[in-house]
Structure 1
Amino acid sequence: MTRTFVMGDPQAPFDKILEVLDRHDALDGDRVASDVVLVSIGDHFDYDLKDPAGAGREGLRLLRWLASHDPEHVYLLFGNHDASRVMELALLDDAEFTRARLLARSIDDTEHGEGKPAAKARVLAEFRPAFPALPAPGVVGRDYAAYTTEQRALVAELLLAGRFHIALTGELRDGRTALLTHAGVTSRELALLGQPGPTPDAIAAALEAFLGAAIERVRDDWSCGTYTPLSLAPLHVTGGDGEEGGGLLYHRPSNPDRPDADPAWALAPTRPRRFDPRTLPRGLTQVAGHSGHAKCVHELGEWVCDSARARKHGGIRTLRVDGDTVTYDLGVAPPADGVADMILVDGELRRVPAHEVSLLQLARVVG
């Protein structure tokens, strides 16, 4: 009998990923077991700011290993950290990126030592003129600090070969069919897609066609070794020219009414960094990564149940919208009519011990 697992955001050393899989009896030696289907929810790079070079090598090792399995054995979803290699960072070679990262780290030191005004002055005087295509120092100094051109080449190769998906559908063990994406789909994305049918299959097909068309626009350039940046606009908008990216692979659920919310930034129409859960399509069950538990507890405010608030990191969780009532709790919520459910599987692998990491088990991948 085949077992199917969804692994959230595998941003961790390769051996730790193997340990997690082994604890779920999902390995046969150093390979995914033949009776297991594995779905990686995306984000295969960037987990260690103290050793970005080492983290970069581990990310390459992991992604190559996952991709060495047959496409129906291991499915790869496309996350924002994967996308950045062929989007925001696509035009940077290793030397340029290292220079940008070192400058970003220096500006960060200035902020901690002299304050934000001094750091902002350096951004305007030094970083922006040197790297006008990058949105902010944090992109290279923190978010995507492990980047290398070798990663860029691998991500492009896998996209050209059709190994990366932007959406899949799967059947939960309770019989529901769910849409699987890296960060979730809201009414915004459905509107931009031209309102595909309300089923997970129809939405996944529309998203996959959108990604496929974007890849075709750069196929000739990439095949010749010219890494023209991939564009998924307007669904997912990359950062650049001093503005952060937003949309499909970037957004996270957030309570716009919590005391420290900044709706003008978070919900910017063309590049949202957050989304109000009440914009999730009703009647749709989703599985997504991207948003770890600690981040959700902060962002969702009063919508967090006491049992969820008591947990520090990790775990499988459900964000449910029933009418205008939003709840965030641990585990997979049971089926209910007319609700929007988002099952969140980012296990915060960089922080949680391998023996505490949970994988979401599905009945099967539908396609």
Structure 2
Amino acid sequence: MGGVNTPRDALIQAARTRARHAVEAGPRSTPPDGVPRRRRLVLGDPQAPCDKVLRILEHHGLLGEDGGLRPDVQLISVGDHFDWGPPSERDAAAESALALVAWLASHPADQVIMLLGNHDLGRVGELAGFDDARFAAAQAEADRIYQHGVTDEAGERAFLERWPQVPTAELVARDFGNFRQAQRDWVEHLLRVRRFRAAHVAGTGLLVLHAGVTHEDLEVTGLAREHHADAHAVAQALNTVVDERVAGWTGGRLELPGLHHPGDAASGEGTGIFYQRPSLKPEDAERTRQTPRRRFDPRRIPSGLTQVLGHTRDKRIRELMGVTSGAARDGVVRHLVTDGARVTCAHGAPPPTGAAEAVLVFVDGGMSHCPVEDYELFDLDTRAAVRAAAR
């Protein structure tokens, strides 16, 4: 990984060492320490090399000399800690992702908040029945069927007969393509000790989660409509569903009835609150009316609640929302505001809003595609995008 040439290099090297030791120690989570944190920042989907994540954090001045975050920093990771890069980098990406998860979990649980994404849950969902050997065999087949973005349909039909626990060959070849059994061991442990969370309350009317929730999703949890703008109540409802389901889970696929359904050959792609994205496309209208689903109508998110989300890069949001002005950008915080009828989307943090408006803040900046110096974080106290000053 190169020598240590500057104080900044030394911080990165210390973090690498901490990550390596955390992986070697095996699945574990550091308990909370109760220390107040002066800065509370949200990190978009860390689907990028561990070194790049660390360099982004260092560029923002967040790393300490002990290889962890500075003690006055709280970091919320919005989920999707696995799966990035081309097939030629699968082994390196798998190891790198595990190092990042272990590094994050080595911090006190109230300093680093680890949220679940669909790629994290995929390890105990679609891929629950695979060990390394079985996955390698399935992936070798999938690579022959899914090439350069094109699927051989006849080949896929035969593939799904042999591997009915997955919905497509593409999922094995690309979407969840960096799977290793050790990752599942970590995900399962972090679920059982309640380190992986479905949602995190960050303040009055301020919620952080992976992909967003609507009234229909919250009704599945049993939360009364009058509490849908209460971030504390929403987070508690979602986390309780996960915790209760995990408590009774003895192995196999982890499902959350009505909220999260892993994909398979019989039912198709995975659906639910870790998969769904907002859409105003006419062809998605019917898909938004059911739950669990892969698309939701943003006009159905609770008024008075700001949800800080990952999961969707700018290019995809613009496509789904029909935005035609300007150009897509990686690395930047974006927002959506709706009064239940009108919807506006733009780059930057949201403007001040009232109780009659609902807000989504998007923080997935396409980390693997964005230069380190351009990657913004989201400050939960100022509710503003943060781009590090030149250092």
State TM-score, norm by structure 2.
0.83
2:349 equivalent in structure 1: 332
1:129 is displaced (CA, Å) by 1.4
Q: Distance in 2 between matches of 1:231 and 1:327?
A: 34
Q: 2:338, 2:358 within 8 Å by CA — same for their partners in 1? A: yes
Give the aligned residue type for 2:348.
Answer: G
Give the aligned residue type for 1:104.
Answer: A
Do structure 1's residue 361 and structure 2's residue 361 form an aligned pair?
A: no
Q: Distance in 2 between matches of 1:154 and 1:12?
A: 18
Q: Distance in 2 between matches of 1:128 and 1:311?
A: 36
2:184 equivalent in structure 1: 152
Q: 1:217 aligns with which of 216, 239, 248?
A: 248
1:315 equivalent in structure 2: 332
1:195 is displaced (CA, Å) by 3.1
Give the aligned residue type for 1:281.
Answer: P
Give the aligned residue type for 1:81.
Answer: H
CA deviations 1:251-287 (Å, max 9, x no partner) are 0111122xxx4545x4372441111111111221111
Give the aligned residue type for 1:121.
Answer: A
1:313 is displaced (CA, Å) by 2.0
1:4 equivalent in structure 2: 40
Q: 2:216, 2:291 within 8 Å by CA — same for their partners in 1? A: no
Structure 1 segment 107-186 matched on structure 2, within 5 A: 107-109=145-147, 112=150, 119-124=152-157, 126-171=158-203, 177-186=205-214
Q: Which runs of 5+ in 2 are unaligned?
A: 1-36, 384-391
Give the aligned residue type for 2:59.
Answer: R
1:224 equivalent in structure 2: none
1:167 is displaced (CA, Å) by 0.8
Give the aligned residue type for 1:291.
Answer: T
1:235 is displaced (CA, Å) by 0.5
Do structure 1's residue 347 and structure 2's residue 365 form an aligned pair?
A: yes
Q: Distance in 1 between matches of 2:236 and 2:174?
A: 34
Q: Distance in 1 between matches of 2:379 and 2:222?
A: 32
Structure 1 segment 225-304 matched on structure 2, within 5 A: 227-242=251-266, 243-257=268-282, 261-264=283-286, 266-267=287-288, 269-302=290-323
- The secondary structure found in structure 2 opposite 1:66 is helix
1:177 is displaced (CA, Å) by 3.2
- The secondary structure found in structure 1 opposite 2:381 is strand
Structure 1 segment 63-142 matched on structure 2, within 5 A: 63-109=101-147, 112=150, 119-124=152-157, 126-142=158-174
1:241 is displaced (CA, Å) by 2.5
- The secondary structure found in structure 2 opposite 1:318 is strand
1:36 is displaced (CA, Å) by 0.5
Q: Distance in 1 between matches of 2:303 and 2:176?
A: 34
Q: Distance in 1 between matches of 2:305 and 2:54?
A: 32
1:170 is displaced (CA, Å) by 0.7
Q: Which runs of 5+ in 1 are unaligned?
A: 222-226
Q: Which has the higher contact order (CA 8 A, sep 6+)?
A: 1
CA deviations 1:74-108 (Å, max 9, x no partner) are 11001111000011101111111111112111112
Q: Distance in 1 between matches of 2:256 and 2:140?
A: 29
1:23 equivalent in structure 2: 59
Give the aligned residue type for 2:335.
Answer: T
Give the aligned residue type for 1:217.
Answer: G
Give the aligned residue type for 1:279.
Answer: R
- The secondary structure found in structure 1 opposite 2:81 is coil
* More off after superposition, 233-242 vs 54-63: 233-242
Over 3 Å counting, the alpha-carbon distance change for 1:111 and 1:317 in structure 2 is closer
1:111 is displaced (CA, Å) by 7.6
Q: Distance in 1 between matches of 2:72 and 2:79?
A: 22
Over 3 Å counting, the alpha-carbon distance change for 1:364 and 1:155 in structure 2 is farther
Equivalent pairs, count: 340
1:110 is displaced (CA, Å) by 9.2
- The secondary structure found in structure 2 opposite 1:60 is helix
- The secondary structure found in structure 2 opposite 1:42 is coil
Please identify runs of 4+ aligned residues in structure 1 that moved more than 6 A. none
Give the aligned residue type for 1:16.
Answer: K
- The secondary structure found in structure 1 opposite 2:318 is helix
Over 3 Å counting, the alpha-carbon distance change for 1:326 and 1:131 in structure 2 is same
CA deviations 1:119-152 (Å, max 9, x no partner) are 111111x211110111111111111000011000
Give the aligned residue type for 2:199.
Answer: A
2:84 equivalent in structure 1: 47
**Identical counterparts, % of pairs:** 36
Do structure 1's residue 38 and structure 2's residue 75 form an aligned pair?
A: yes
* More off after superposition, 268-277 vs 147-156: 268-277
Q: 1:56 aligns with which of 68, 77, 94?
A: 94
1:52 is displaced (CA, Å) by 1.5
Q: 1:256, 1:276 within 8 Å by CA — same for their partners in 2? A: no
Q: Distance in 2 between matches of 1:160 and 1:110?
A: 38
Q: 2:367, 2:375 within 8 Å by CA — same for their partners in 1? A: yes
